Amino acid sequence: MNVLDSERMADVLAPLGYSLSDTPDDADLVVLNTCHIREKATEKVYSELGRIKALKTARAEAGETMLIAVAGCVAQAEGAEIMRRQSAVDLVIGPQSYHRLPELIARTHRAGGERLAADFEAAAKFDALPKDRNARGVTAFLTVQEGCDRFCTFCVVPYTRGAEVSRPAEAIASEARGLAAKGVREITLLGQNVNAWNGEGARGLAGLIRQLATIPGLARIRYATSHPADMDDALIAAHGEVSALMPYLHLPVQAGSDRVLRAMNRAHTADSYIRTIEKVRAARPDIAISGDFIVGFPGESEADFEATLALVKEVGYASAFSFKYSRRPGTPAAALPGQVDEAVKGERLARLQALLESQQRAFNAHQVGRTCPILLEKPGRLPGQFIGRSPYLQSVHCDAELSQIGKIIPVEITASGHNSLSGRILEMA
């Protein structure tokens, strides 16, 4: 979502004459888009600001100005703290206020040094950002829902991104048609809790996907991120019936111990999660399952952690993200007793990641010798080499031609690694 938000900020600033620069060194405006989900991400903001401040000072010595804006969830959560800790920051702006960037920048310039902060304006963003988006390639993100009402006890999202809001289907479809007209072949529907989408004009996310699947030119649809308790039968059925819906499901489970899941307020058990996966696989047997995991949640014992390993073995993941529990001020879990030692967290994370990595390698190796329809996205690093995506969201390297970008081409997979596949194109499209 932050990648998309950065693109949207670039879009609203383009009419003012701003364009993207490759480095911050000679930028007139540096926007640092930030993430508040874990402590490490938040701390990075301050070290990065120190570096950008040095650039601003160098510019000032040359008689030029550089504005520094901090955007994203750290701006939302600790705007005043950022202003206090880093005097070089001109502007802080939370994720709901990006449509106000041009105005705020103009005001900062006009006031000559007045420092501004934009507050939370729930739901304003969808309507306020320009409808006509720039397409930056053959794949695009599209926001359909924002915010979260689930309040997992470890998570800052319900506080930084606010309550769940769904965009109406017509607004989404119109944006999707616009992207398709600009050559986008694959869209990823985004929301913090995307499968809880309940906007006007379609029945649930499944209904929305069925509508979008009829848009000419749009060949592939994905969505992220889903909550297991919102994985309804209609959405599961869509995986078996809508050919544009790609066989990939990111369904975070966080942990395999019911005791820990309860303390996390996850509203699902290990067993209900596994049953959901079974239903999804019954609808779409080849589906790739991906997940998120947290190790070292307060009170997690060795036995609890082993329940996570057991769940991973049972599910079999094609890819995954796993993290050490990070204590976030203001969330209920931060105040729980039984905070787990960092060294224990590190050791558990290493064991979990070794298992997940071996599953990912096995999933990738399974494709070798098969032929996959690959959406060709962009040139690779080597001459003649291009990068595309398999239906299972794997990166695939193959030799191709520029004119084939945006086409979906049968590729025979010849080799696999941990993070990508290689292959050769079977027919010229």
Of 89-97, 146-154, 212-220, 235-243: span binding ligand SF4 (CB under 6 A)? 146-154
Helix (DSSP H) and strand (DSSP E) numbers for the chain: 13, 17
Nearer to ligand SF4, 151 or 384 (CB): 151
Number of chain positions touching ligand SF4 (CB under 6 A): 10
**Taking Cα atoms as reference points, which of 213, 199, 280, 290 lies closest to residue 245?**
213
Looking at this protein, which amino acid is placed at residue 414? T
CB of 363 vs ligand SF4, minimal distance in Å: 24
Residue 220 interacts with ligand SAH (CB under 6 A): yes or no? no
- The residue (of 73 and 409) whose beta carbon lies closer to ligand SAH is 73
Q: How far apart are CA 218 and CA 248, in angstroms?
A: 17
Tell me, residue by residue from 29 to 48, as one string, x for binding to ligand SAH by CB under 6 A and - for no binding: --------xx----------
Instruction: For residue 4, state whether it binds ligand SAH (rule: CB under 6 A).
Output: no
CB of 228 to ligand SF4, least distance (A): 9
Smallest gap, in angstroms, from Cβ of residue 272 to ligand SF4?
15
Instruction: Please state, in angstroms and rounded to a whole number, the distance separating the CA atoms of residues 411 and 349.
Output: 35
Report, in Å, the least distance between residue 47 CB and ligand SF4: 25
Q: Which two tokens stand for residue 218?
A: 């749009």
DSSP 198-255: --TTSSHHHHHHHHHTTSTT--EEEEE---GGG--HHHHHHHHH-TTB-SEEE---B-
**All residues at 6 or more sequence positions from 32 whose CB lies less than 8 Å from its CB, including other chains:** 45, 48, 49, 52, 68, 69, 70, 71, 72
State yes or no: residue 158 binds ligand SF4 (CB under 6 A): yes
Does 92 interact with ligand SF4 (rule: CB under 6 A)? no
Do 374 and 408 meet the contact criterion of CB atoms below 8 Å apart? Answer: yes
Q: Is the peptide bond before 225 cis (omega within 30 degrees of 0)?
A: yes
Residue 99 or 268 with smaller CB distance to ligand SAH: 268
Residues 303-362 that bind ligand SAH (CB under 6 A): 323, 325-326, 328
**Beta carbons of 97 and 124 less than 8 angstroms apart:** yes
Q: Counting contacts by CB under 6 A, is residue 151 touching ligand SF4?
A: yes
Buried (b) or exposed (e) across 256-271, using 16+ Cβ within 10 A? Answer: bbbebbebbebebebe
56 binds, among ligand SAH, ligand SF4, none (CB under 5 to 8 A by kind): none
Task: Judge residue 344's burial from the number of C-beta atoms within 10 Å of its C-beta, 0-12 exposed, 13-18 middle, 19 or more buried.
Answer: middle
155 binds ligand SAH, rule: CB under 6 A: yes
Q: Which is nearer to ligand SAH, 207 or 296 (CB)?
A: 296
Q: How far apart are CA 352 and CA 85, in angstroms?
A: 37
Determine if 292 is a binding residue for ligand SAH (CB under 6 A): yes
Q: Name the binder of 328 from ligand SF4, ligand SAH, none, CB < 5-8 A by kind.
A: ligand SAH
Choice between 105 and 333, CB closer to ligand SF4: 333
User: What region, left, alpha or beta, does residue 254 occupy, with left being phi > 0 and alpha being psi -120 to 50 degrees?
Assistant: left
Nearest-approach distance from CB 252 to ligand SF4, in angstroms: 7
Instruction: Find the binder of ligand SF4 among 13, 32, 93, 155 (CB under 6 A).
Output: 155
Quick one: which of 36, 227, 239, 348 contacts ligand SAH (CB under 6 A)? Answer: 227
Identify what 37 binds: ligand SF4, ligand SAH, none; CB under 5 to 8 Å per kind. Answer: ligand SAH
The maximal CA–CA distance of the chain, rounded, in angstroms, is: 65
- For residues 177 and 145, is the Cβ–Cβ distance under 8 A? no
Nearest CA-CA partner of 48 in 77, 63, 73, 68: 68
Q: Is 123 in the site for ligand SAH (CB under 6 A)?
A: no
CA 60, CA 148: separation in Å to the nearest integer?
42
Backbone angles phi, psi at 360, to 5 degrees: -65, -45
Range in contact with ligand SAH (rule: CB under 6 A) among 152-160, 166-174, 342-350, 381-389: 152-160
Binding mask 242-271 toward ligand SAH (x if CB under 6 A, else -) reads ----------x-x-----------------
* x-or-dash string of contact with ligand SF4, 377-406, rule CB under 6 A: ------------------------------
**Cβ pair 271, 247 in contact under 8 A:** no
192 lies in the site for ligand SF4, by CB under 6 A: yes
Q: Point out which residues bind ligand SAH (CB under 6 A).
A: 37-38, 154-155, 157, 192-193, 225, 227, 252, 254, 292, 294, 323, 325-326, 328
Q: Point out which residues bind ligand SF4 (CB under 6 A).
A: 148, 150-152, 155, 157-158, 192-193, 227
